[in-house]
Amino acid sequence: MNESSIKRVVIVGGGTAGWMTAALLSKAMGPQLQIHLVESDEIGIVGVGEATIPQIRHVNQFLDIDEDEMLRATQGTFKLGIQFNDWRRVGDSYLHAFSDIGMPLGLLAFQHYWLRDVHGRTSAAGAGSAEAASRQREDAPDLWAYSLNAQACRANRFARMEKVGSSPLTGIRHAYHLDAGLYGQFLRRRCDPRIVQRTEGKVVDVALRAEDGFIESIRLESGETIAGDLFIDCSGFRGLLIEGALHSGYENWQQWLPCDRAMAVPSTRVEPMRPYTQASARPAGWQWRIPLQHRSGNGHVYCSEYMSDDEAASLLLANLEGEPIAEPRLFPFTTGMRRQFWNKNCVALGLSSGFLEPLESTSIHLIQSGISRLLALFPDCHFDPALRLEYNRQTRFEYEHIRNFLILHYRASERRDTPFWQHCARIEMPQDLERKLALFRSSGQIFRDGEELFTEVGWLQVMLGQGIEPLRHHPLAESISSDQLDEFLANVRTLIGRAVDTMPEHTRFVAEHCKANAPG
Q: pLDDT 10s per residue in the chain (520 long)? A: 578 999 999 999 999 999 999 999 999 999 999 999 999 886 655 545 589 999 999 999 999 999 999 999 999 999 999 999 999 999 999 999 999 999 988 889 999 999 999 997 543 334 444 444 444 566 789 999 999 999 999 999 999 999 998 899 999 999 999 999 999 999 999 999 999 999 999 999 999 999 999 999 999 999 999 999 999 999 999 999 999 999 999 999 999 999 999 999 999 999 999 999 999 999 999 999 999 999 999 999 999 999 999 999 999 999 999 999 999 999 999 999 999 999 999 999 999 999 999 999 999 999 999 999 999 999 999 999 999 999 999 999 999 999 999 999 999 999 999 999 999 999 999 999 999 999 999 999 999 998 899 999 999 999 999 999 999 999 999 999 999 999 999 999 999 999 999 999 999 999 999 999 987 6
Same domain, 51 and 124: no
**CA dist list (Å): 336 to 252, 339, 435, 477:** 5, 9, 22, 41
Is residue 284, in this structure, part of any structural domain at all? Answer: yes
Residue pair 229/381 in contact (Cβ under 8 Å)? The answer is yes
Closest listed residue to residue 82, CA positions, set 50, 47, 51, 110: 51
Same domain, 220 and 368: yes
State the Cα–Cα distance between residues 201 and 191, nearest whole angstrom.
19
Distance of CA 144 to the CA centre of its chain: 21
The angle at the Cα of 293, spanning 292 to 296, to the nearest 5 degrees, equals 40
Q: Single out the residue in 332, 354, 369 at which a domain terminates.
A: 332
Residue 29: how many other CB atoms lie within 10 Å: 16
Same domain, 69 and 108: no
Instruction: Provide the residue type at 263 as one letter.
Output: M
* Count of domains for the chain: 3
Residues annotated as catalytic (active site), given as ranges: 79
| pTM, two decimal places | 0.94
Same domain, 187 and 53: yes
Closest listed residue to residue 82, CA positions, set 118, 61, 54: 54
Is residue 89, in this structure, part of any structural domain at all? Answer: yes
* CA contacts within 13 A on the Cβ side of 237: 14
Residue pair 176/65 in contact (Cβ under 8 Å)? The answer is no
Domain that holds residue 93: 81-173+402-506
Same domain, 266 and 342: no
Residue 142: how many other CB atoms lie within 10 Å: 13
Determine whether 187 is exposed, middle or buried from the number of CB atoms within 10 Å of its CB (0-12, 13-18, 19+): buried
Beta strands 215-220 and 175-177 are: unpaired
Q: Single out the residue in 332, 365, 393 at which a domain terminates.
A: 332
Residue pair 3/172 in contact (Cβ under 8 Å)? The answer is no
Same domain, 114 and 14: no
Is residue 518, in this structure, part of any structural domain at all? Answer: no
Task: Enumerate residues 6+ apart whose C-beta is below 8 A from 195.
Answer: 26, 30, 31, 33, 34, 35
Same domain, 289 and 309: yes
Same domain, 91 and 71: no
Q: Which helix (H) or strand (E) holds 302?
A: strand 296-302
Same domain, 202 and 340: yes
Is residue 393, in this structure, part of any structural domain at all? Answer: no
Is residue 183, in this structure, part of any structural domain at all? Answer: yes
Is residue 519, in this structure, part of any structural domain at all? Answer: no
Residue pair 357/335 in contact (Cβ under 8 Å)? The answer is yes
* Sign of the four-CA dihedral 341, 344, 345, 346: negative
Could you tell me how many residues make up the chain? Answer: 520
Is residue 389, in this structure, part of any structural domain at all? Answer: no
DSSP for residue 96: E
Q: What does the radius of gyration of the chain's CA atoms come to, in whole angstroms?
A: 24
Residue 450: how many other CB atoms lie within 10 Å: 8
Residue pair 473/127 in contact (Cβ under 8 Å)? The answer is yes
Q: Which helix (H) or strand (E) holds 51?
A: none
Residue pair 150/97 in contact (Cβ under 8 Å)? The answer is yes
Distance, first Cα to last Cα, the chain? 46
Same domain, 16 and 94: no
Same domain, 27 and 143: no
Q: Single out the residue in 315, 332, 349 at which a domain terminates.
A: 332
Is residue 96, in this structure, part of any structural domain at all? Answer: yes
Same domain, 73 and 85: no
The CATH number covering residue 126 comes to 3.50.50.60
